[in-house]
Amino acid sequence: METALTDEAKRDAPMTYLLLGNSGLRVSETALGTMTFGEDWGWGSDPAESRRVLDYYIDRGGNFIDTANFYTEGTSETLIGQFLEGRRSRVVLSSKYSCVFGGKATEPNEGGNHRKSLVQALDATLKRLRTDYLDLYHVHAWDFLTPVEEVMRTLDDQVRAGKILYAGVSNAPAWIVAHANTLAAGKGWTPFVATQIQYHLGERTADRELLPLARALDVGVTSWSPLAGGVLTGKYDTNASKYEGQFKRSDVFPFVPLDERTRHIATVVAGVAQRIGRPASQVALAWVRSQGVIPIVGARTVEQLRENLGYSDLVLDVDALAALNEATAIEGGYPSNFLAAPMGKTALFGGLDPQIRSHRPQWLPEQTGEHTVPRTALAS
């Protein structure tokens, strides 16, 4: 079985590697999400299928594995530790801390971002993963209680101790990431080299602040749930009356509103997919990649993962991108709308903005109809 799987993987498109943020670390263009490793939450894969998924991903050249201490109550990390026996050095192993197992704390310091939580969680994670170090360790979600100084100093201590190599942050506002990295630069501490965010065709609010921040500070960006919990794959009926009962995960992680806008976006994705002759999942993932974001792709079966990774050789054409962007554009809000308005531009540039070129990367807004969408140059 292992030989056949390897041969199958070799026939598929090879993986491309990217530098992760302001680091020299090379990661594959698609990360493997492992929240599905284990059946503890009622919708994951058994150990045998989880191993097959991991083996196929590595055989395809993937090296960026994402997990978290509380995924499937620790089972995800435990299985990964078993599966990577003898090949740990081949992968970039990433985990996260802050969240409480089962969502029910037995004492007040069990979760959160503070030093005690981080140190205890990291030691337990390393034990489950059967490794001495993590390549990347994320703050899983910002708790708004722990001082930024405490978080960054504690992460830096773990780097100096050799327990982690790089630090990242997930589910945090842009101003927190900017504050943290500015503080780290001034103190000589380890900065965040990556941020993990919710980002897909149905959730683009990160376009307002998080993605501009990442480009300005050279922070790598990974996307959790790039297929919107499966909604963008087309496997779920888009009829609102039939949604109920179809989403096991949405009962636990209700992050995708199953409303008219979501159904419209899923329909547009399906239309693009039909026109170009590719699965809807590949269209959605190719769009995420086109935004400079690394999608974290999870799968319950090898067949599902193989189909999803098939997007690696897909470059969306101008018509496809236009259709997807039009269906998913968001309101920029203040100050983007103000800066994009004719009055704002006239006040700033006196009508000469089309003639001005900047050699520095920009992230300025541009108005298109009712929506404001970002662009990366002052004048094109």
Query: Known catalytic residues?
Result: 71
Please name the residue that has the structure tokens 């000469």: 352
Please give the structure tokens belonging to residue 127: 């034990």
Please give the structure tokens belonging to residue 207: 């376009």
Alpha helices in the chain (DSSP H): 2-11, 47-59, 75-83, 115-129, 148-160, 174-187, 210-217, 248-252, 260-276, 280-290, 302-309, 318-328, 336-340, 342-349
Q: Do the beta carbons of residue 23 and residue 218 sit within 8 Å?
A: no
Beta bridge partners of 37: 45
Sign of CA dihedral 110, 114, 115, 121: positive
Distance CA 185, CA 35 (A): 33
Distance CA 164, CA 160 (A): 8
Q: What angle do CA 48, 53, 56 make, to 5 degrees?
A: 120
Q: Which secondary structure element, helix H or strand E, spans residue 168, and what is its range?
A: strand 164-170
